[in-house]
Amino acid sequence: MAQIELEGVEKVFTVWARRGRLRRERTVVRAVEGISFSIEAGSLVGYIGPNGAGKSTTVKMLTGILVPSAGRISV
């Protein structure tokens, strides 16, 4: 049985930027999209990828600092 399991996990942020004095523009940023994996107890794992790939966001969701927008995390 997996000790850590992610199924279809996604994280979406909404970013607001000022465009002039009164106007604001909304941008949707997909930090993590459809990630799934499992880690067995006692396993040694490396989590690598390019800048902006969502590694830190994924770890923050695993630790409960962030809540996923979709999917399931079991620790």
**What pLDDT does residue 22 have?**
83
Q: Could you tell me if 62 and 73 are in contact, meaning their C-beta atoms sit under 8 angstroms apart?
A: yes
The whole-angstrom distance between residue 41's C-alpha and the CA centroid of its chain comes to 22
Report the chain's C-alpha Rg in angstroms. 16
Q: What is the mean pLDDT of each run of 10 residues along the chain (75 residues)?
A: 92 90 89 95 93 94 96 95
The verdict on pTM exceeding 0.85 is no
Segments forming the whole domain that contains residue 44: 2-74
Q: What's the structural domain count of the chain?
A: 1
The whole-angstrom distance between residue 38's C-alpha and the CA centroid of its chain comes to 15
CA separation for the pair 41, 24 (Å, rounded): 47
